[in-house]
């Protein structure tokens, strides 16, 4: 079996760390691994599969001999560094939003559109976390009943903002219990016991970039004709994004049929037994690989419609896990070199 030289770019962030732990968990065929961070974070110790590694600087020359580079950094860094990594021979799987809408770059959820990987040019984009969990559920339904329109409202955890988001909620909880005043420092407003209907920047059209990612990435990944209307909201939950999703379909589908289809879909788990108080929730999805769906019920206000409630671990399937699965899909299809 082949094995691969892997690099994790941004290894100290929450997604970078998660990529490392998922590579371990899944026994990914790692030949050698490099942890590439900022100059400031150089020489930090990282344990991987029981061995000690030290972070190196992510810079020109660092990707020689790297087969797969997992980029877990912000768009601005990916913008300059990813092309360098590709030129040096690495296949880059990028978690930022920098390359997602680039026509030359496949945007891939392995369970949804693995064929988009064929003909890649060394750079593959990992979709937005909210898009991934949405499409994991929409794809199997779309195959059967053609989804026409989606109205989605998100309930997004602070881990989606990385360590800064988690630290901010933690510190505000502490201030609250200590009866101390607190102020937002990372988010534009306090997040403890509050909701912020604002994720990423605002566009001219009144939507945030986060909302438009769901609109545009859905078209690129699943079907150009699907129309998405999105509202993205940050909630005081540490981990796992949730989505209230209303769909209109071309062909009628009953909740029972939808449950059956989704129950057979790889990577999706139906939890839908409300009379026993069983439905997806962040505390259930935390640390899990699957995308959870429940509260599946007919929307009586349209001829062919369903309401659904979708929850997933945004750090795993929404980011790190999907990236590793992309690498696995490349290997399976012989679309990447290795020894």
Residues identified as active-site: 129, 241
Half-sphere exposure (CA, 13 Å, Cβ side) for 85? 29
> Whose Cβ is closer to its own copies: residue 61's or residue 188's?
188
Nearest to 11 by CA among 19, 1, 22: 19
- For residue 106, give the 3-state DSSP assignment: coil
To its own copies, the closest distance from the beta carbon of 70 in angstroms equals 28
To its own copies, the closest distance from the beta carbon of 137 in angstroms equals 15
Nearest to 310 by CA among 288, 285, 287: 285
Nearest to 90 by CA among 98, 80, 82: 82
- As a whole number of angstroms, the distance between CA 174 and CA 196 comes to 20
To its own copies, the closest distance from the beta carbon of 311 in angstroms equals 8
> Whose Cβ is closer to its own copies: residue 53's or residue 187's?
187
- Dihedrals φ, ψ of 328, to 5°? -65, -40
> Whose Cβ is closer to its own copies: residue 94's or residue 248's?
248
Residue 275, exposed/middle/buried by CB under 10 A (0-12, 13-18, 19+)? exposed
> Whose Cβ is closer to its own copies: residue 27's or residue 301's?
301
**Residue that the structure tokens 């559109």 belong to:** 113
Q: Which residues bind its own copies (CB under 8 A)?
A: 149-151, 153, 155, 173-174, 176-177, 188-190, 193-198, 202, 205-208, 227-229, 231, 233, 235-239, 242, 244, 246, 255, 274-275, 277, 279-283, 294-302, 305, 307, 309, 311
> Whose Cβ is closer to its own copies: residue 26's or residue 295's?
295
Residue 47, exposed/middle/buried by CB under 10 A (0-12, 13-18, 19+)? exposed
To its own copies, the closest distance from the beta carbon of 278 in angstroms equals 10
To its own copies, the closest distance from the beta carbon of 63 in angstroms equals 38
């Amino acid at each position: 079996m082949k094995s691969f030289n892997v690099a994790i770019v941004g290894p100290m962030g929450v997604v970078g760390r998660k990529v490392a732990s998922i590579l371990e968990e899944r026994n990914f065929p790692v030949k050698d691994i490099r942890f590439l961070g900022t100059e400031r974070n150089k020489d930090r110790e990282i344990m991987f599969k029981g061995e000690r590694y030290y972070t190196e600087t992510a810079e020109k020359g660092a990707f020689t001999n790297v087969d797969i580079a997992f980029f877990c950094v912000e768009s601005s860094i990916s913008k300059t560094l990813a092309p360098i990594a590709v030129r040096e021979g690495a296949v880059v799987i990028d978690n930022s939003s920098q390359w997602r809408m680039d026509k030359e770059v496949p945007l891939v959820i392995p369970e949804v559109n693995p064929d988009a990987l064929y003909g890649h040019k060394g750079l593959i984009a990992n979709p937005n976390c909210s898009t991934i969990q949405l499409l994991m559920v929409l794809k199997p339904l779309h195959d059967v009943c053609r989804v026409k329109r989606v109205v989605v409202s998100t309930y997004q955890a602070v881990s989606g903002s990385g360590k800064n988001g988690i630290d901010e909620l933690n510190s505000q909880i502490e201030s609250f219990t200590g009866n101390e005043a607190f102020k937002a420092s990372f988010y534009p407003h306090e997040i403890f016991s509050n909701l912020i209907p604002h994720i990423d920047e605002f566009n001219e059209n009144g939507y945030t970039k986060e909302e438009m990612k769901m609109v545009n990435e859905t078209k690129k990944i699943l079907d150009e004709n699907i129309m998405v209307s999105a509202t993205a909201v940050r909630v005081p939950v540490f981990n796992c994004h949730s989505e209230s999703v209303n769909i209109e379909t071309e062909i009628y589908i009953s909740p029972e049929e939808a449950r059956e289809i989704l129950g057979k879909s790889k990577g999706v788990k139906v939890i839908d037994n409300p009379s026993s108080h069983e439905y997806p929730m962040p505390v259930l999805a935390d640390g899990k690989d699957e995308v959870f769906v429940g509260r599946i019920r007919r929307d009586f206000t349209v001829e062919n419609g369903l309401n659904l409630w979708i929850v997933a671990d945004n750090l795993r399937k929404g980011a790190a896990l999907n990236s590793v699965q992309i690498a696995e899909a490349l290997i399976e299809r012989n679309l990447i070199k290795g020894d």
